[in-house]
Structures are given as structure tokens and as C-alpha cells.
């Protein structure tokens, strides 16, 4: 099978898109040939059967579109399926070429937001793949949940860290939808009201837009006003190759994100055998019996603070068993191995249907 993949970035050091290199190489193991078109490229060691084409050297948007069109005209006839990863715009741009050459068009998307562009991409796609039932908000028989694709050989537990304080970690882009106010207000409750001064709070992630930067200034000011500068550390861009160290370092991972879809960072923390506190209802099914322990009410910083205390005071054996089982959930349902197997199955089924 020959596959054409369109994706945002091929760069194993990138803080947001570094994981895509793992996706590409694992998918390449399961197909004969993988052509990849990316908007940007950087450092990446790719499998021999991967051929990469990057648009980043084109000087402007028009030049990129022209080059993309030339690549599609050249590569689409050679491939069996076209796979568009993450951005709905990729599916919209690839659709005419999929139609022209009679190729199945598969989109990957996982986010709670539904835009007009997403609706159009969904209409144009042959199939839509996503992480879970709740990760794609348009109800459709086109949608197939295939897991999230966590590299469990990279994200794994480690006990090599020695610390004086307990560490509470949150990872993700600095954006209002991530609701870092709740994280900071919970820190204020723990430090200034509960007098728990043996805690460190770390936020890893940077702003991507002007409005995000304004929000970043706002939440740092909030931490300062609570006199938490000695307790909360903001760390912006961390290369994908190093982010696992932060998961392994922490005692509790917290996600205050309100996206409504499965957040990859939570699954990465789970794979590192860390207790993961979330307010995202999409994880209720994932956590199963642990939902009552690991889920707090959205925007409720008091509930979050109480949950953190509960986790820190848990019986060690009970906590270790829970964390071990959280990793098992990721290994079974959301590993890169299972995702690419499921994705290839989707490709094969579509090809078989075309041959009837």
C-alpha cells in the first residue's frame, strides 16, 4: 500500500508537533511507501520508505499553494489513499485531487471546536479518524475512533529523580481554553490557605498568538498577586525529546483544559504512570473506575485542590496500582502501535470497498 500524508510539521524537536515524526515512522513500517507533504520541516530521522516534501522554502502563501498543487498532481496518482492530518484545511485542499484521481480521502482531527472549515472538510472526506467518540463533535457515520497514538516506549515511568518538594505539573499551550486560572487558584488554596509549602507547581507551554500572549501576561500576574512566584514556574518551549522528563519528574499531573476531546498530554502523563487530574468529560470513559478519584469539576479550583491533596495522601500501594493501570489503558487503547494498526485497517477497508 502506498500512502500520501499531509501534515503540519516534520521536526522531532518541535514542542507541539514533535510527535508527528513518530507517527510517520510507525506508519511507514506498515505500508510499502509513504509520501509526506508538510508545511514546515526540521530535524527528523525518517524511515527509508518515507519521501518528504516541505512547503516551508516557498516564499509566500501563493507559492506554497502552487507547489502543493504540483505535488498533489504528481503524487496522488501514485498512491492508494490520501491521509490529511490535523488541519481541516489540508483535507479541503486535497479533496479536488482525491476526486480527480479517485482516491479515498481520510482526515484525522481531534478537538472539541467545530468550525465551518471543519464542517466542509468533514463533507469532503471519505472517512474521518479521531482519538475517541467524543473527540470529534460532528455526528456522522464517517467517523472512526482509532486512539491517540502515544509512544509508550518514550513515555514511560522513571524513578531517577530526587526532589525536596512534591511537584504538580501542567503541560499545554498557553491559551484561555486551557483555563490556567483554575490551576493557579488551586495552587493558592494549597499554599496560602492549606499552608502546604512543600509543593512546586510547573506549567510547561508557550503562547502561540497575540491573544495567547495577553493571556500569558494575565495568568503570570495572577500568580504574582497570590504571592506564588516562589512556588509556580512557567517554562515555555520544551523540545518534544525532553518533555518526558517533566512528566517523570512530577507527582501529580493536572489538566484544566476545556477542549472536550482527549488531550494528548494527559495520555502521555498516564503512560509515565502519573496520577492525572482532569475536568474533561471525555476522560470519564477512559478512567473507568478511577473517574471519581481523577476527575474534578470544571473551573472549580477548590475541588482541584482537594483532589491534589487526596492523591498526595493516598496509600502508596493503592496509588502505584492505579498509576500502573493508567499506563495499561494507554498501552491498550492509545499507543502509537494500536493507532497505526487501526489507521491502516481503515485504509484497507476503504480500498476493499472501492474494488467491489
What is the predicted pLDDT for the residue at 260?
74
Question: What average pLDDT does the segment 79-92 reach?
Answer: 97
pLDDT band with cut points at 50, 70 and 90 for residue 208: confident
What is the predicted pLDDT for the residue at 161?
66
Q: Which three cell numbers stand for residue 122?
A: 468533514
Question: What average pLDDT does the segment 227-250 reach?
Answer: 93
What are the φ/ψ torsions at residue 265 (nearest 5 degrees)?
Answer: -65, -35
pLDDT band with cut points at 50, 70 and 90 for residue 258: confident
| Gap between the Cα atoms of 215 and 196, Å rounded | 27
Q: Pick from 299, 261, 265: which is nearest to 280 by CA?
A: 261
What pLDDT, in 10s, does the model give residues 161-185?
Answer: 666 789 999 999 999 989 999 999 9
Tell which wins on pLDDT, 281 or 155: 155
Question: What average pLDDT does the segment 334-340 reach?
Answer: 96
Question: What average pLDDT does the segment 195-203 reach?
Answer: 95
What pLDDT, in 10s, does the model give residues 282-325?
Answer: 898 899 999 999 999 999 999 999 999 999 999 999 999 999 99
| Gap between the Cα atoms of 312 and 303, Å rounded | 14
Would you call 159 exposed, middle or buried from its count of C-beta atoms within 10 A (0-12, 13-18, 19+)? exposed
Q: What is the pTM of this model?
A: 0.92
What is the predicted pLDDT for the residue at 162?
66
Using the predicted structure, report yes or no on whether residue 37 has a pLDDT greater than 80: yes
Q: Which residue segments constitute the domains of the chain, with CATH numbers given?
A: 2-149+335-355 (3.40.50.2000), 166-333 (3.40.50.2000)
What pLDDT, in 10s, does the model give residues 138-157?
Answer: 999 999 999 999 999 999 99
Whole-number average pLDDT of the chain? 94
DSSP secondary-structure letter at 78?
G
| Gap between the Cα atoms of 89 and 98, Å rounded | 14
Amino acid at each position: 500500500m502506498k500512502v500520501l500524508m499531509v501534515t503540519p510539521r516534520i521536526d522531532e524537536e518541535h514542542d507541539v508537533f514533535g510527535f508527528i515524526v513518530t507517527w510517520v515512522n510507525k506508519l511507514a513500517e506498515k505500508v510499502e511507501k509513504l509520501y509526506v507533504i508538510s508545511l514546515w520541516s526540521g530535524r527528523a530521522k525518517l524511515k527509508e520508505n518515507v519521501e518528504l516534501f516541505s512547503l516551508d522554502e516557498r516564499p509566500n502563501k501563493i507559492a506554497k499553494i502552487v507547489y502543493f498543487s504540483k505535488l498533489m498532481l504528481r503524487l496522488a496518482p501514485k498512491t492508494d489513499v490520501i491521509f490529511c492530518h490535523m488541519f481541516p484545511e489540508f483535507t479541503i485542499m486535497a479533496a479536488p485531487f482525491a476526486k480527480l484521481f479517485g482516491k479515498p480521502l481520510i482526515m484525522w482531527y481531534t478537538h472539541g471546536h467545530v468550525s465551518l472549515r471543519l464542517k466542509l472538510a468533514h463533507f469532503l472526506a471519505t472517512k474521518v479518524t479521531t482519538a475517541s467518540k467524543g473527540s470529534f463533535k460532528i455526528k456522522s457515520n464517517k467517523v472512526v475512533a482509532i486512539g491517540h497514538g502515544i509512544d509508550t516506549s518514550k513515555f514511560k515511568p522513571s524513578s531517577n529523580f530526587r526532589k525536596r518538594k512534591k511537584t504538580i505539573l501542567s503541560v499545554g499551550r498557553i491559551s484561555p481554553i486551557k483555563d490556567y486560572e483554575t490551576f493557579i487558584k488551586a495552587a493558592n488554596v494549597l499554599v496560602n490557605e492549606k499552608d502546604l509549602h512543600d509543593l512546586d507547581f510547573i506549567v510547561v507551554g508557550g503562547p502561540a498568538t497575540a491573544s495567547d500572549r495577553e493571556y500569558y501576561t494575565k495568568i503570570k500576574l495572577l500568580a504574582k498577586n497570590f504571592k506564588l512566584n516562589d512556588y509556580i514556574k512557567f517554562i515555555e518551549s520544551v523540545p518534544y525529546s525532553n518533555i518526558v522528563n517533566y512528566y517523570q519528574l512530577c507527582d501529580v499531573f493536572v489538566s484544566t483544559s476545556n477542549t472536550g476531546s482527549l488531550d494528548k498530554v494527559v495520555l502521555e502523563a498516564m503512560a509515565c504512570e502519573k496520577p492525572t487530574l482532569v475536568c474533561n468529560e471525555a476522560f470519564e470513559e477512559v478512567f473507568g473506575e478511577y473517574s471519581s478519584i481523577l476527575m474534578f469539576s470544571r473551573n472549580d479550583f477548590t475541588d482541584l485542590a482537594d483532589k491534589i491533596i487526596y492523591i498526595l495522601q493516598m496509600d502508596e500501594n493503592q496509588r502505584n496500582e492505579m498509576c500502573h493501570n493508567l499506563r495499561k489503558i494507554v498501552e491498550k487503547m492509545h499507543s502509537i502501535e494500536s493507532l497505526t494498526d487501526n489507521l491502516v485497517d481503515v485504509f484497507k477497508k476503504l480500498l476493499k470497498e472501492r474494488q467491489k
